[in-house]
Chains A and B, each alone.
Chain A
Amino acid sequence: MTPKPVLLKILDYLSIVLLAVATYLALVYAPTEAVMGDVQRVFYFHIGTAWVGLLGFVFAAGLGIAYLVTKDMKWDIVEVAAVEISVVFFFITIVLGSVWARPAWNTWWTWDPRLTTAAVTELIYVAYFMLRAGIDDPERRARFGAVYALLGGLSAPLTFMAIRLFRSIHPVVIGAANENQDKMNMTGDMRVAFFFALFTFTVIFIDMFWNRIRLGQLQDKVEQLKLKVM
Chain B
Amino acid sequence: MESTPDTSQYLILGYAVFFIVSAIYLVSLYVRNRSLQRDLETLEGLDAEK
A85 and chain B: residue at smallest CB distance: B25
Q: How far is the CA of A69 from the CA of B12 in the complex (A)?
A: 46
Interface residues in A30-45 by Cβ distance below 8 A to B read 32-42, 45
Q: How far is the CA of A212 from the CA of B50 in the complex (A)?
A: 32
* Cβ contact within 8 Å between B47 and A229: yes
| A102 proximal to B (CB < 8 A) | yes
With A37-B6, A38-B7 in contact, is A229–B50 under 8 Å at CB? Answer: yes
Interface of B is mostly: helix
| B40 proximal to A (CB < 8 A) | yes
Q: How far is the CA of A193 from the CA of B27 in the complex (A)?
A: 28
| A228 proximal to B (CB < 8 A) | yes
* Cβ contact within 8 Å between B10 and A42: yes
- Size of interface on A: residues with Cβ below 8 Å to B: 38
- Size of interface on B: residues with Cβ below 8 Å to A: 27
Q: Which of A33, A42, A215 contacts B14 (CB 8 A)?
A: A42
Q: How far is the CA of A45 from the CA of B7 in the complex (A)?
A: 17
Q: How far is the CA of A27 from the CA of B46 in the complex (A)?
A: 53
Q: How far is the CB of B5 from chain A (nearest CB, A)?
A: 5
Interface residues in B24-50 by Cβ distance below 8 A to A read 25, 29, 32-33, 36-37, 39-40, 43-44, 46-47, 50
With A92-B21, A222-B39, A229-B50 in contact, is A39–B33 under 8 Å at CB? Answer: no
Q: How far is the CA of A99 from the CA of B16 in the complex (A)?
A: 11
* Cβ contact within 8 Å between A225 and B7: no
* Cβ contact within 8 Å between A102 and B10: yes
Q: Mark A20-55, 1 if CB is under 8 A from B, else 0.
A: 000100010000111111111110011001000000
A211 and chain B: residue at smallest CB distance: B29
* Cβ contact within 8 Å between A225 and B40: yes
A42 and chain B: residue at smallest CB distance: B14
Interface residues in A202-230 by Cβ distance below 8 A to B read 211-212, 215, 218-219, 221-222, 225-226, 228-230
Q: How far is the CA of A36 from the CA of B8 in the complex (A)?
A: 10
Chain B residues with Cβ below 8 Å from A41 are: 11, 14-15
Chain B residues with Cβ below 8 Å from A100 are: 10, 14
* Cβ contact within 8 Å between B40 and A222: yes
* Cβ contact within 8 Å between B36 and A218: yes
* Cβ contact within 8 Å between B46 and A218: no
Binding site for B on A (CB under 8 A): 1, 23, 27, 32-42, 45-46, 49, 88, 91-92, 95-96, 99-100, 102-103, 211-212, 215, 218-219, 221-222, 225-226, 228-230
Q: Can you list 5 A-B pairs with a CB-CB distance of less than 8 A?
A: A38-B10, A91-B21, A92-B18, A95-B17, A99-B14
